[in-house]
Structure 1
């Protein structure tokens, strides 16, 4: 049995100041740090001694890294930083406001191949960036995995975990919220099960 717990990073500065997240390296707010601490504490209470058997992966962007560090403190785990887990790169609007994005949008995203900005990533690009990491963790000997990442990236991860193709993202997706915790299982015979999706109660 393989267990995968995904955590969407908690409240970041860009959630409060009207700026674009993407590859801009925003830190967590004080509230976000407290939220991450509570997630770690609740996971420790839930996992108990089993926590030591987990491997913790995180996006290297600061807001995810800080979330993973707080969770890791509670579970006595050190995050392994992976660039594949970064949020989708939106190109030239990084460092700009959400209002600027709306006013300067180059293309509406109607399909997974459309890019809001020509120097950014499409959803297919994001999928292709994530896929080697996904294949790695699904095929290796790590049976207990925690992943800290970002909203758009994790919505792609969810579809990938269900064994659906990238084109599925043209018609549906499973999107979470900041601080949401999802729990997924793969049984020994290869059946994939999602037990929780973006459970916000871990921050309570």
Structure 2
């Protein structure tokens, strides 16, 4: 039994907004020095796993993700395809504000409005907004002929990438959550016999030293 498709989903490593305790979302900051080291460690782990395989690398266009992807690309000697469709959820007016600013204003989603709740922040995306851009992006990536692909994205968006891979309907994504540390690797696989889409490894960060 061979392998039809393998997908490795990486969450970007530590960014400046993390250490400054600011809201991320679409607020665009670079990796920290630690983030750059962790990106190199992530790249090394992927190189160990992938060996000499041909690989496609897809990434969010936000700097913290694209810089993580570039570290992987340099180690594996492949180019990066960037897209805004893989960005983190937007927190609208809260982006770049101190985390305390968001905490004081954020309204958690009620159980009966998980997909379309705007959390009380002007310009913020809903879960449906994120899923609506992520799902077709993942489907387009997976439909490409390359058998091994890497997606570099963000913590919240990772959950939607996995949901899209598993073909969970958007309407069922109100409670979907796959927590992951920065620099984690999630391994997804579809075999060429049963064609089942499996989660082989979830949010593995064992390659990072803390």
| TM-score when normalising by structure 2 | 0.91
Once the two structures are superposed, the pairs formed by residues 19-34 of structure 1 within 5 Å of their partners are 19-34=22-37
Task: Describe the SS at the equivalent of 2:109.
Answer: coil
Structure 2 residues without counterparts, runs of 5 or longer: none
CA distance in 2, matches of 1:14, 1:147: 21
The residue aligned with 2:131 is 127
CA distance in 2, matches of 1:33, 1:144: 24
Give a deviation string over 1:19-59, Cα, whole Å, max 9, x none: 00100001111001000001111211222111xx1000111
Task: Describe the SS at the equivalent of 2:8.
Answer: strand
CA RMSD of aligned residues (A): 1.4
1:42–1:202 CA contact under 8 A, matched in 2: yes
| TM-score when normalising by structure 1 | 0.93
* Runs of 4+ residues deviating >3 angstroms: none
1:54–1:146 CA contact under 8 A, matched in 2: yes
The residue aligned with 1:37 is 40
Higher helix share goes to which structure? 1
1:36–1:203 CA contact under 8 A, matched in 2: no
Deviation at 1:140, TM superposition (A): 2.4
CA distance in 2, matches of 1:170, 1:152: 13
CA distance in 1, matches of 2:56, 2:26: 24
Provide the aligned length of Structure 1 versus Structure 2. 201
Structure 1 residues without counterparts, runs of 5 or longer: none
